[in-house]
Chains A and B, each alone.
Chain A
Amino acid sequence: MERLSNNLSKNTAQSFNLMRSQTKWTKTYVHNHLFRYLCVFSALFLGITLFSIVIFISKTGLLVFKDVSLSEFFFSTKWDPENGKYGAAVFIMGTIYLTAITLAIATPISLCIAIYIAEIAPNSLKNTMRSLLDLLVGIPSIVYGYLGSTILIPLIRKVTGATVGDGILAASLVLTIMILPTITRIADDAICSIPKELREASYALGSTKFQMITKVLLPAAKSGILTGIILGMTRALGETMAVVMVIGNVAQFGFNLITPTSVLTSNIVMQILNVDFDSTWNYALYMMAFLLLMMSMIFIILIRKMRPKGVK
């Protein structure tokens, strides 16, 4: 201690330097940890957001079952809130039907384009096509809806002779154009990430390009392609405004494709602004939103389960 004080008095300047560097070191240390906690906090914030969304929506939505029985909500097709009829089967079936038809159209086309870009197209064209697809993802959904209602619906009216033209067909075509870039890009990435050796081995066994693609590439890229399809599906499931503009918004089944009908999203957005917050009608709409939320979350968990262990 004595020596220390001696040193202090003798070499004050030096010890000050030492102290200063020490405080500086402490400061960097604190900064380092602060930054880490900031990052952890923002990650936590995301989790909290998801939880509060689930809780808010479900808390409001589940109130509907005070007045409406479970079986009525899920299986009755009578949606007439003014007279106390809250059967959401039409919308649930509509959403499933619309998503299925959209996928049935979009998947083969997207796979075709992905195979073309990844395997067939000349190199100069590849990158142009990829960046074009990236640009398409950014185009607002409302623009697709506008295109649907100004170009597609008159066309459908002319071709099929339907009086209105709105319906599942128009909605699924609009959605197809919307989710096409999503599925194509992910499938393309999945196909491109397959090692070259697999291709060469297949060629060495004498297969043609097409045999190589169907027998080797597609099975190997299966999980990537499925991820793309599911992501496209969640997008189609939750798309609202583009669908609202072309589906007709009538609470009836539209299985023949050109009858005006309604799906979960379109029904919510058309009615939510006109109802009281504390009414069964409103609770029913929140319950529909909760259903949508659950559907998309189940799909995401499916994707996570599908992924091989160790890959993030």
Chain B
Amino acid sequence: MKQSLFHTHKRNISKAIHFNKMMTWIATGISIFIFFLIFSLLYIILSKGLPKMSVHFLIGLPEEIDAGGGVGPFLLNSFYILILSLIMSLPIGIGTGIFLAEYAPNNTFTEFVRTSVESLASVPSIVFGLFGYVLFVEYFQIGVTIIGASVTLALLNLPVLARVTEEAITAVPKELREASFALGATKSKTILKVVLPAAMASILTGISLAACRAFGESAIILLTGGTSTSGVMWDFNPLSEGGTLPVHLWYVQSEALVEDAQEIANKSAAILVVITLLISTTIRLPLWIKEKISQLKNR
């Protein structure tokens, strides 16, 4: 009797161990498979688009019917709208983050702001697009424009910026603030001169995240910026049409009449991927270098 109990126990344990091994392999297998899949997708996009890339394509004007057009104005608009929207959303987003992290009293108003930030972050981009459409096309009657697109895009950035700023500031140790107060600094001075610089690294990462999202956004731009541009390169008039590269990619892929539509789509997708990778890595690069230097110093 005792012997058999011992044996069943042993059998159970060995079963559990085998099961453990099997599940470990399965988790490893799935992870590796997914990462392999993602890498191959990126590789396909880049290998399809990059080899035929030329400067003419990057800054050339688009063609309606003939092959050989570029995406210059769309690319320019993408950056222009991104920068305008960041200029508008950075102060308000960071201000909200500071409020939530430093000032927010424990009351209904704070609760209301916190709920608004989280709800805004989850509002589907198409709803932002419709809001911008009502505001600029129907209410102000200025049609689809660069300025309309960037204001609407700024609204999309706000919650992301507010949240990352709050997280970054909360992570700053309390001692820094106390030291600053002890030196006689006011609260605003403490925040501006001590807390913000200390939190700068994580805030920058957050900004790069928001910038990537805004750069690739297409539903909002389609509704508030339109699908085409003014048709001239280096046009900085905020009232001209504001089609961006993501919208152009959609247009070319699904509606365009151009002969080489597929090639334009391939190249545009490759540019988009390269630029988003660049945005997220270049903003992190200084941090990474700083980290490495401090590591070397500590050694």
Binding site for B on A (CB under 8 A): 28-29, 31-32, 34-36, 38-47, 49-53, 56-57, 60, 109, 112-113, 115-117, 120-121, 129, 132, 134-143, 145-147, 149-151, 177, 180, 207-211, 231, 234, 237-241, 244-245, 265, 268-269, 272-273, 277, 285-286, 289, 292-293, 296-297, 299-301, 303-304, 312
Q: Using known A-B contacts A46-B158, A139-B273, determine if residue A40 contacts B192 with beta carbons closer than 8 Å.
A: no
* A100–B217 alpha-carbon span in the complex (Å): 24
Contact A209 B24 (CB under 8 A): yes
Inter-chain CB contacts under 8 Å: number: 257
Q: Which B residues are in CB contact (< 8 Å) with A177?
A: 38, 41
Q: Are B99 and A245 in contact (CB-based, < 8 A)?
A: no
For A269, list chain B residues within 8 Å (CB): 126, 129, 219, 222-223
Q: Besides A29-B186, A208-B16, 8 other CB < 8 A contacts? A: A35-B187, A42-B99, A46-B117, A49-B120, A140-B273, A147-B41, A265-B124, A300-B121
Chain A residues with CB below 8 A from B189, complex form? 28, 31-32
Nearest chain B CB to A292 CB, angstrom units: 5
B27 touches A136 (CB 8 A): no
Instruction: Classify chain B's interface size.
Output: 35 or more
Contact among A28, A46, A60, A293 with B96 in the assembled complex (CB-CB below 8 Å): A46
- A29, A47, A147, A150: the one contacting B116 at CB < 8 Å is A47
Smallest CB–CB gap between B219 and chain A, Å?
4
Q: Are B253 and A50 in contact (CB under 8 A)?
A: no
Q: A20 CA to B57 CA in the complex, in Å?
A: 62
Residue A180 contacts which of B34, B187, B218, B250 (CB distance < 8 angstroms)? B34
A300 and B222 alpha carbons, distance in the complex (Å): 26
Residues of B within 8 A of A28 (CB): 186, 189
Given A39-B103, A43-B100, A297-B122, A312 and B27 contact (CB-CB distance below 8 Å): no
Residue of A47, A177, A241, A244 with most partner-chain B CB within 10 A: A241
Roughly how many angstroms separate A66 CA and B121 CA in the complex, as a whole number?
32
Closest B-chain residue to A277, C-beta based? B138
A sample of 18 inter-chain contacts (CB < 8 A) reads A31-B188, A32-B188, A42-B93, A46-B113, A56-B135, A57-B131, A139-B216, A139-B276, A140-B216, A142-B216, A143-B45, A210-B20, A238-B127, A240-B129, A241-B218, A269-B222, A297-B119, A299-B122
Partner of B246, one of A129, A208, A241, A301: A241
Contact of B279 among A39, A138, A211 (CB under 8 A): A138
Interface positions, chain B 78-119, Cβ under 8 Å from A, are 91-93, 95-96, 98-100, 102-103, 112-119
